[in-house]
Amino acid sequence: MPRYIKRFLEHWQPDLALIAESEIWPNTIMALAERDIPLVMVNGRMSDRSYRRWQKMPGTIRGLLERFALCLAQTAEDAERLARLGAPRVTVTGNIKFDAAPPSADPRVVAHLSGLIAGRPVWLAASTHPGEESAIIAVHRALAKRYPHLLTIIAPRHPHRGPEVAALAGQAGLRASRRSEGIHPDRATDVYVVDTIGEMGLFYRLSPIVLMGGTLVPIGGHNPIEPAKLGAAILHGPHVHSATEIYQALDRSRGALMIKDSATLARAVNELLNNAALTRDMARKAGEAVQALGGAVERTMHSVEPFIVQAKLGARR
């Protein structure tokens, strides 16, 4: 909203603006340009879908991107798309998410839940969407014949869907409990639904196998960096267009494995549950792949530093 942007800028009077990833908001960009506030895109991303959409409005996107003093792109592909759309100064610095610390977890809670599920085969489906949970539940039912104490943890992307996911498990004849109700998984729990916020660091630490959601349905795939950093073997479906570079790197390193449907998912989970050495090897390779892609924060700060120096010089005048 232009009037709110104006009020914000007039109050704070920023010396520099950083816009992350693909947040190309026209009113914000124009308001910054009117006040001669340098604008830099950091961790820049331009998905294939957004690129095709902006191609239908070439004059608009060129007029917006020309107002960026610098665009720091995640990948060469992102940089090429931004340049083709009209960004005059583009460079590749990488994805700063690779440098982020893994999510934390209370060691006491980790130890407590680890004790509760000790001795059970466990796998986690993280950030799932409608259409994925039914496949995951079907996999549990298929594998439970071989692993009668199997625990499947499902963390829906949107926690308010917890009751819906638990109901799906119940309809399949499985015993489900929900984290939001304060219930811990016990020997009677088949499916544990993590319908809370801010606890993925805990559950990534508990499960050696993680299926990333948003990949079995055309969402585009959620970020697998966190489980890779926390020692998990990664599984994912074919829909990874929102994080192509990350998944390609994990697949090349054999730290991740693409599955096509519930049948191939069941085979992959079965193989990993049955082969602890393979699971550990995949987890190690996933961690190494993510570590190798680091360094973007340092490169980004190096590129942004001249603007900060200029702002300081201007303030002294």
Running along the chain, 317 residues long, what does each successive block of 10 average in pLDDT? 96 95 94 96 93 96 97 95 96 94 96 96 98 98 96 98 98 98 95 97 98 96 95 97 90 97 97 98 97 95 94 75
The reply to whether CATH 3.40.50.11720 applies to domain 2-94+295-316 is yes
Question: What's the pLDDT score for residue 317?
Answer: 63
Confidence (pLDDT) at 47: 87
Asked if 2-94+295-316 and 107-292 have one fold, the answer is yes
pLDDT for the residue numbered 249? 94
Res 196: pLDDT: 98
Angle at 66 between CA 240 and CA 100, to 5 degrees: 40
Q: Are 236 and 221 in contact (CB under 8 A)?
A: yes
Sign for the pseudo-dihedral over CA of 212, 214, 216, 218: negative
To the nearest 10 degrees (0 to 180), the angle between helices 276-292 and 262-274 is: 110
- Cβ neighbours of residue 91 under 8 Å, at least 6 residues apart? 70, 71, 72, 73, 79, 303
The pLDDT value given to residue 42: 98
Q: What is the pLDDT of residue 49?
A: 86
CATH class, range 107-292: alpha beta
Residues β-bridged to residue 18: 40
Q: Give domain limits for the chain.
A: 2-94+295-316, 107-292
Task: Report the Cα 307 to chain-centroid distance in Å.
Answer: 29
Supply the pTM of this predicted model.
0.85
The answer to whether 43 and 22 have CB atoms below 8 angstroms apart is: no
Q: What is the pLDDT of residue 312?
A: 84
CB atoms within 10 A of CB 14: 14
